[in-house]
Amino acid sequence: MPKVSFLIPVKNEGVNLKIILQILEATIDIPFEILVVVDSKEDDSIPVVCEIQKKYENIRLVQNTLGRGVAFAIRSGCEAAKGQYVLVIAADDLGPVLTVKEMVALMDQGYNLVSATRYAKGGKVYGGAFLSRLLSKTANRLFHFLGGSQLTDATVGIKMFRPDIFQKIQIQSRVGWAMAFELSIKSQLLGMKLGEVPIISINRFYGGESSFKPGPWILEYSKLFLWGLKQAYQKKMMGDKPS
């Protein structure tokens, strides 16, 4: 059985997949599989995956039939995963390659979810949209201190967990990778043991254009931010009540 199932939700990431799949195959030295999840049969990622599959048998193409978007793609991938742990990554980010062993080590110690972090000591981020980086860093710092988040980077999509964990948590976000923020919040509210590993996130340095759209992104993250603060406050108040 694979130790880790790399789960890569994609939308026309053919150019990026040519690079990241080869890098994963060349550098990861634990038993693993790679699941590339697509929403559409016309996705330009499909011919790239089919070609690379001729060389590597541990790469699988998964058709997401649950509904469009990252959250449904991850759910479809979890249902198909054979690994002990699932590691969600993006096709345009090289950072996770360097942190896999540390994340696995924490999972083996009994953590329920291990998140990468760009904002703790040792973490950095390069590439991507400047506005996205600025908003992400600001929101994470505020949420960490105001909301009591265990994670310094609750919004990052790079997360490792057991496949059944994602099935237990009802994710409602449908805008891009906002589901990662929701997953972080709800995991903590459920009392799960959360861990972090610093990451040097290197994204959009090669191929393709970012699908980042400020309007919907800001609205969705703002809603989750306020909801998370409210839930954290209510939980604190309940915990402070005398028994």
- Tally of domains in the chain: 1
- The reported pLDDT for the residue numbered 179 is 85
- The reported pLDDT for the residue numbered 209 is 53
How do 159-161 and 113-117 pair as beta strands?
antiparallel
Q: Output the tens digit of pLDDT for each of the chain's 243 residues.
A: 899 999 999 999 999 999 999 999 999 999 999 999 999 999 999 999 999 999 999 999 999 999 888 889 999 999 999 999 999 999 988 888 889 999 999 999 999 999 999 999 989 888 767 777 777 788 888 888 887 888 999 989 999 999 988 878 888 887 778 889 899 999 998 899 999 999 998 775 555 555 555 567 678 878 888 888 888 778 776 665 433
- If you ran DSSP here, which 8-state letter would residue 55 be given? T
Q: Is 18 a member of any domain?
A: yes
What is the CB neighbour count within 10 angstroms for residue 23?
Answer: 11
Long-range contacts of the stretch 71-76 (C-beta < 8 A, 24+): 71/171, 71/173, 71/174, 71/179, 72/39, 73/9, 73/37, 73/38, 73/39, 74/7, 74/9, 74/37, 74/166, 74/179, 75/166, 75/167, 75/171, 76/37
Q: Is 182 a member of any domain?
A: yes
Q: Is 243 a member of any domain?
A: no
Tell me the C-alpha distance between 105 and 114, whole Å. Answer: 10
Tell me the C-alpha distance between 11 and 230, whole Å. Answer: 34
- The reported pLDDT for the residue numbered 6 is 98
Q: Is 147 a member of any domain?
A: yes
How do 113-117 and 4-10 pair as beta strands?
unpaired
Tell me the C-alpha distance between 60 and 27, whole Å. Answer: 18
- The reported pLDDT for the residue numbered 171 is 84
- The reported pLDDT for the residue numbered 208 is 53
Tell me the C-alpha distance between 129 and 206, whole Å. Answer: 14
Here the CATH number for the domain that contains residue 124 is 3.90.550.10
Note down the domain range covering 73.
Answer: 4-238
Q: Is the dihedral of CA 141, 145, 150, 155 positive or negative?
A: negative
